[in-house]
């Protein structure tokens, strides 16, 4: 191929490439307007969701502040996404925190004072789990920790017991002695009210527990009591147990409360409920005495 022919070929090739590179495809005017409208709508949609996300992040930032909030009896529930950006407003959680911090009222509230683990006398973790607070998930964590750490042991005896809501002195002593005799590095988990180890001159373990919104917790228990899983286990253990009516299984919590059904009533200072359903979350942190009721 001659030099001129080769140059002519390259110029044609370049023209073809430019034609594809800078090609313009005509669109009807209506289509252009539609594309512009979609672009504006998407931009507005992203703006709204970004603004909402920013509010939620502000709320999470407040919830993740140091433990002074808990000590003050304040929680992230006191601040809404709408108020999350008002850092200087004393009516918001973040504003309250900054105000108390600026006035020096938070000096005595530090993690060292709020930490009770340092008062433990034996390295036994006692999880006297409150009912329906997520203890099953915590149990899975214990199982995983035991699997990957040879120095840790999960004692499952408590999973097979069902202690009375209020135990007499002998029962409390037996439970406390059982926990105190466990080897160091043991996780022990059981549905049981708080035990006073000082009452029996026994070494104190490391206590942990979980809490949950009290209303959500009662609702969770209400429907858990009607689950096929729970009832299948109960009927397997007690074949002669009377089967509840179909209406009981289909009962709605809201209707149960509004109708005055004894199952859904909370009567303060009542020693014995019509239905044993762990309404009193505070008992797991107070103990077995009548004053805890």
- Give catalytic residues, as residue numbers: 191
What are the phi and psi torsion angles at 122 (to 5°)?
A: -135, 150
The neighbour count for residue 254, using CB atoms within 10 Å, is 9
DSSP of the chain: --HHHHHHHHHHHHHHHHHHHT------HHHHHHHHHHHHHHHHHHHHHHHHHHHHHHHHHHHTS-THHHHTT--GGG--TTTTT-TT-TTSHHHHHHHHHHTTTTTT--HHHH--GGG-SSSEEEE-PPTTSSHHHHHHHHHHHHHH-TT-EEE-GGGG----SS--HHHHHHHHHHHHTSPTTEEEE-------GGGGT----EEE-----HHHHHHHHHHHTT-HHHHHHHHHH-TTSPPPPHHHHT--HHHHHHTT-GGG---TT-SS-SS-----TTHHHH-SSGGG-
């Amino acid at each position: 191929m001659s030099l001129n022919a080769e140059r002519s070929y390259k110029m044609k090739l370049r023209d073809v490439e430019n034609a594809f590179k800078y090609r313009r495809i005509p669109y009807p005017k209506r289509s252009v307007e539609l594309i512009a409208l979609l672009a504006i709508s998407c931009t507005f949609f992203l703006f709204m969701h970004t603004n909402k996300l920013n509010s939620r992040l502000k709320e999470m930032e407040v919830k993740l502040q140091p433990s002074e909030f808990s000590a003050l009896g304040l929680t992230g529930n006191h601040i809404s996404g709408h108020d999350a950006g008002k850092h200087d407003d004393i009516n918001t959680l973040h504003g309250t925190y900054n105000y108390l911090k600026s006035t020096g009222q938070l000096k005595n509230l530090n993690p060292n004072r709020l930490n009770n683990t340092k008062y433990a006398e034996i390295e036994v973790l006692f999880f006297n789990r409150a009912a329906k607070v997520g203890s099953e998930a915590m149990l899975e964590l214990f199982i995983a920790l035991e699997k990957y750490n040879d120095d840790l042991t999960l004692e499952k005896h408590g999973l097979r017991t069902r202690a009375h809501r209020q135990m007499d002195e002998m029962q409390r002593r037996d439970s406390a002695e059982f926990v105190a005799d466990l080897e160091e590095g043991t996780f022990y988990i059981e549905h049981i009210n708080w035990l006073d180890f000082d009452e029996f001159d026994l070494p104190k373990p490391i206590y942990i527990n979980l809490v949950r919104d009290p209303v959500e917790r009662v609702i969770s228990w209400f429907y858990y009591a009607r689950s096929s899983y729970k009832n299948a286990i109960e009927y397997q253990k007690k074949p002669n147990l009377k089967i509840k009516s179909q209406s009981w299984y289909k009962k709605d919590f809201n209707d149960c409360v509004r109708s005055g059904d004894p199952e859904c009533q909370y009567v303060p200072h009542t020693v014995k409920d019509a239905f044993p359903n762990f309404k009193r979350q505070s008992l797991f942190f107070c103990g077995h005495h009548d004053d805890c009721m």
